[in-house]
Structure 1
């Protein structure tokens, strides 16, 4: 279709665009209809082919030469010896690539990846594992090998238990294995599968089961109390990534750390000259009397794992730097000196479970904290963590306050409150804007709530000193004087079950920071702060405004999330990546996808142009993939198109399944993102030939409008890395997952007093009938230039839609109806109440007219939103929408303004 110049005629220039990127892995059926399976120990295990992944195995003597072929076929996701699992560049190309690979000399095997019913990826090469039954004769065994031209390649370790045979690459190892097993000669025969395994690490320390803050399964803790499943920091999941590094030091500024506790071995204590700022030898940080606070904090951070006694630390491979400070009436300079000592002696993290009973700032301490945060670690800055204090009594209507230095005005300091065993705010943990995060600790003091007591387990001073047995004097009946908890086990008095407060929460965060630095030592304090705060779980049912609440800060820390990549893109220009997106604005205005008609690498979205694909002149779609995490990440990015509608759902029509009255969607392309470094972004480029608008003439003025939707797939199986599994409600999918983005924009250029506009489709692509409401609003950012106050918006329904609406009662507000024309009288106007059956599509026209022309200097953009909602028993569900941008003057003409879209 020939491009038109919209500016040669006096009417509104309408550009409609909806962008969408989807990442879903479909699976092919095998050719010929053969059943795919393998024989498990007791039953057949069904398999299906992946449409996106395959495995290739090379001759190891030609590996360097053959590996050069891999980038042409796809992205290597896994590698094992001389076998590689690849994700294809284009979905559906697996069979073609497998066929090409099998034809190459030096390729020992090439097969699609097979998926089990629970989506485990299974790679099949040339090797089969089998065990002959005792009664199988030597001749029958030889016959099996000869039949399939197989070679015995059994490894010495397997020789006495089973055989390994290699079959030619065109012999279909899966089929051969099944035939061998079905011969009745073997107890088992199956491919030597390449499949991912994961470590299920749980420490063996005897008191670990009581450490609910690390792993909460609702277990018994203390005093008959049990926890709530997953009200923990996901430590076990984090340990699958790292348990720390011996090069990372955490300075514990407290009342001292013992050097003879087996869970805090001397080999991991950096006891430095001058580390004692309290009484006694300046070089000895050992606590005095029952002063176990620092030892308990240190155990939470770094207690040894799997040594047959005690507890487990968050970062057990990291080092502790004891810095002993006095408590009570002390010169403020002492604390400043201790902080300066810690960072200037290369502490990576400073853990501070102490503070004043006041909010008042003390400059010498603030200056020391700022120096640590900016000058520590050779100028990168040390991570500084402070407890928030225990000033609240929420059961007594006292919300408390974040005490100094927890409220210090140093941006990267992490201030830590306490959650409890049930993911609620601990009774003593204060409210406050200065609160950044919470971590699990005990629920309440026994003086506040009867029956409650300290319940965090950690290390103690060895022997009778410290918290076990209890010295009493905690202001309540529990723990009682002389209580022993634990009272049994190896060196049981070297451990305590009676730690708590925000003092216990703070070292959990310090330990997490140490894990992060163990993986990526170059992280700045600001990056650590962002990663920890943005990876928190929004627990407790509190109100999180802009991602933060006064009770829990950004939420309860999640160590596994903080150690993960966080790939995302913005739904709206003000999106900060919080899930779910609580924005009240239009979620179909992502700035992270845009189109260019030519390969000029521009970053401003423009209208795509239809061109005959035979001309070889595609449009270019760009997708920005952001990584807000501290770790490198990768995803598969897929791009789909669909015919524009305010009623789009998922997965139809994007999957190409809707073909009536015309093809309503389909795939554009698939690309791996490649490595996206932490706190960075990449932009991917897709070539696109938009559908011919003439094929959609049945939609009248809406024939030119197409949509794209955007999605990043981080895993190969459902839910594909999504926080919330996807449903048919596209709007909710976008809101709940910040790796699905959607763009939908209409640009209108007007010459005053010439009314024109465009067409809109409303549709139901779900599988059930649903009642519908269409709203007409002026977005908040367009209040100054309001088309409804300075002009008119006129809707003209199709005859079919008008009849349907009237049969349903003609419900609506803020409208004036004349025939099939509706004048929008005010913001928030709507029509609705009518039902759409599955697959039902209707259209209507929208026209705009300005009452008078604004000055050319003003040249305002009037914004107008049209949104479709489904009416359900549980309220309204957003289905989709369109935004119009109406200019007072036609925009300057350029070659890029000529478009058919």
Structure 2
């Protein structure tokens, strides 16, 4: 019945005043009904309903382990559907286990629908998908005033009001057919729950019912929004096509997916990358604050490291230049720390032994990764032995990650990159996604080495990076680039701290060293073999080459000119996260005083210099008694630390941070304890 007719009917019996009041009431009811319909989809935030609308262009799926890749899923769903995301679900890894829950092997995917659907057709399509045996969950996407694309996963978060309310959570979860996955390790009142094929409602509806029960402080669905990667404010970042290829230098948009990796990590201060090269300027505005210690000079066999040329500063910047400092560039891993090991890189007497010394010094002093942008025309067992030492003994036995540039001779991979299969041998790629060669799109007349020992490629031409300050570096005021028609290009910076055209596999090698550092930043428990496997398995098959299965290359398809392909920082970091061990509730400590029992703060006020868990040895001989350290030029003193576990839960992997200082009186923490080493065990 229309409102006007309703008023006329009622007017026969009521006076006009009453009719007007009733008309007003009817209008309110109609408006409320419209508002209710517009808020069919919503979630609660701080007690307020947050409205949502359906986005019928996307679908979220959870599929079981018999659909292990996007190709099989594509065959299962529809030829007119694009699979835009596909990944293993490892959500439980970050949570504290609750009860007997065991994570099953599942994959999640995002589908993009190519044809438009009405809301009714879209909801029917979701039901059709969920009816298939291999699909566990199919949930809708939404939009609101701020975001056009909001995905709904099968998870929700519930905060109980007190620790005694867990039984209420457990009871309602059982009634609703949802599973309690785990407890937040940092905020123990928060729990993560999971909707399955047996659940009565999806995660949005379930969260609303949990909140509306009044038993819980918060209940929120897991809504997924693609955050735009943050672009650093460094002025030369726009030139860094290897990190974000927007077509610079005629490129094809192919890059290392670094911005996406940064959404997960920009590196850890616990990860140390040694640059064995000319040495780098530790007071460079882009590098200072990201360095560790004073380094080592192989030419003199002493510390500190020196700056013997421009090459090392350029390599160091590619790995770990600071980001978002309104200066220059950003490194691949801008939060890691850099160790300088200087060598002349020249054919001088004893030069190869000095390089071996640099490798040994680096791993013995805590380097997790050693980047080597140099080669040798002659092979040396002394270098081979140093590399083997680092691979076998570095990082507390997990092995230091060793990377070498493949060489710039347009021929076979050069030495030492070709000397050991556990080395990551890195070739150079042009901005167009092809092997850097005499005919690649950049127009520079050299070629990256390739062949049987090549592992991966990375950007290696037209690379913007740090340069020695002043006129000593590559950029001494003006630069002419051959691909720019001989145009004279003025220096980008009056202080001459950067170069915009660093080239060679020398540039490609530190690119991959930065990715290795990102990998270790999310999972320090990995062995050197596992890091290499991750980098190779996750590489992108770019350039239109025919990558094929190759004997002796177990980590996927491979090509003679590209190895496993272009390094993919995001995929490598994600794969490293999936390999994290479940450390459980172990409780590790080392006695810093005789009666230390692992309580914090330590109630024992006795002297710390007689700890039975920390002792010094004059050589790395495994001795169990303390010796006073002695000054030596060539072999290090060693500090041994015993780790105890108070818990009955076995520790899979953990980090030990050891801080030390020169002996003196009046030492104050942390001012004087600037020396540092990290071991994983």
Quote the Cα distance in structure 2 between the aligned partners of 1:42 and 1:284: 53
Partner of 1:488: 492
Q: Distance in 2 between matches of 1:277 and 1:407?
A: 23
CA gap of 1:548–1:78, structure 2 versus 1, over 3 A, is farther
The answer to whether residue 305 in structure 2 is matched with residue 285 in structure 1 is: yes
Instruction: State the SS of the aligned residue for 1:369.
Output: helix
Cα distance change, pair 205–110 in 1 and its aligned pair in 2 (3 A): closer
Q: Matched residue of 1:320: which SS?
A: strand
Report the CA distance shift for 1:308/1:368 in structure 2 as closer, same or farther (over 3 A).
same
Match of 1:703 in 2: none
Distance change >3 Å, CA 28–CA 46, structure 1 → 2: farther
- 1:321-380: CA deviation from partner (whole Å, max 9, x where unpaired): 1111122213321221111111111211110000023xx532111111111111111222
Q: Is the 8 A contact 1:536 1:555 kept in 2?
A: yes
- Render the CA deviation track for 1:291-349: whole Å, top value 9, x for unaligned: 21000000000001111211100111111111111222133212211111111112111
Change in 2 beyond 3 A, CA 1:559/1:40: closer
**Structure 2 unmatched runs, 5+:** 1-64, 68-72, 74-106, 110-121, 128-139, 438-446, 550-556, 583-650, 654-681
Matches within 5 A, 1:97-108: 106-107=215-216
**Correspondence for 2:597:** none
1:407 is aligned to 2:418: yes
CA deviation after TM superposition for structure 1 residue 64, in Å: 4.5
Q: RCO higher in 1 or 2 (8 Å CA, sep ≥ 6)?
A: 1
Q: Is the 8 A contact 2:478 2:489 kept in 1?
A: no
**Structure 2 CA distance for aligned equivalents of residues 363 and 471 of structure 1:** 43
The CA distance in 2 between the partners of 1:199 and 1:385, in whole Å, is 32
Question: What is residue 473 of structure 2 aligned with on the other side?
Answer: 466
- 1:440 matched to 2:459? The reply is yes
| 8 A contact 1:419–1:425 mirrored in 2 | yes
Superposed CA offset, 1:64-90 (max 9, x none)? 554445874225499799676632232
Give the 3 Å change call, closer, same or farther, for CA 254–61 of structure 1 in structure 2.
closer
TM superposition score normalised by structure 1: 0.43
Offset from partner CA, 1:847-878 (integer Å, 9 cap, x none): xxxxxxxxxxxxxxxxxxxxxxxxxxxxxxxx
Shift of 1:248: 1.3
Counterpart selection for 1:271 from 294, 298, 317: 294
The structure with the greater share of residues assigned to helix is: 2
Q: How many angstroms apart in 1 are the aligned matches of 2:263 and 2:395?
A: 27
Deviation at 1:101, TM superposition (A): 5.1
2:362 to 342, 349, 363: 342
Q: How does 1:421-570 map to 2 (within 5 A)?
A: 421-427=431-437, 428-442=447-461, 455-469=462-476, 487-489=491-493, 492-546=495-549, 547-565=557-575
Whether the aligned pair in 2 keeps the contact of 1:486 and 1:496 (CA below 8 Å) is no
**Distance in 2, Cα, partners of 1:268 & 1:464:** 23
- C-alpha deviation, 1:47, in angstroms: 10
Q: Which residue of 2 aligns with 1:226?
A: 250
Residue of structure 1 aligned with 2:229, choices 181, 195, 200 = 200
Relative to structure 1, the CA distance from residue 526 to residue 91 in structure 2 (aligned partners, 3 Å threshold; closer, same or farther) is same
Q: Show the counterpart of 1:619.
A: none
**Kept after mapping to 2: 8 A contact 1:415/1:434:** yes
Query: Any conservation in 2 of the 1:565–1:632 contact (CA below 8 Å)?
Result: no
Partner of 1:214: 243
Q: CA offset at residue 258 of structure 1?
A: 1.0
Note the C-alpha offset of 1:260. Answer: 2.1
- CA shift digits 1:821-868 (9 cap, x unpaired): xxxxxxxxxxxxxxxxxxxxxxxxxxxxxxxxxxxxxxxxxxxxxxxx
Conserved in 2, the CA contact under 8 Å of 1:457 and 1:499? Answer: yes
Map residues 224-263 of structure 1 onto 2, 5 A cutoff.
225-229=249-253, 231-263=254-286
Counterpart Cα distance in 1 of 2:340 and 2:477: 23
Question: Is the Cα–Cα contact under 8 Å of residues 101 and 107 in structure 1 kept in the other structure?
Answer: yes
How many positions carry a matched residue from both structures? 434
The aligned runs of 1:172-211 (5 Å cut-off) are: 196=225, 198=227, 200-211=229-240
RMSD: 4.2
Which consecutive residues of structure 1, in runs of 5 or more, have no partner in the other structure? 1-18, 114-120, 123-194, 220-224, 393-399, 443-454, 567-626, 634-676, 680-901
Higher radius of gyration, 1 or 2: 1
TM normalised by structure 2 equals 0.56
Cα distance change, pair 210–107 in 1 and its aligned pair in 2 (3 A): same
SS of the residue 2:496 aligns to: helix
- Classify the secondary structure of the residue corresponding to 1:268: coil
Aligned counterpart for 2:371 among listed residues 336, 345, 351:
351
* Cα deviation digits, residues 172-215 of structure 1 (max 9, x gap): xxxxxxxxxxxxxxxxxxxxxxx657463221111011010111
**Structure 2 Cα separation of the partners of residues 244 and 51 of structure 1:** 28
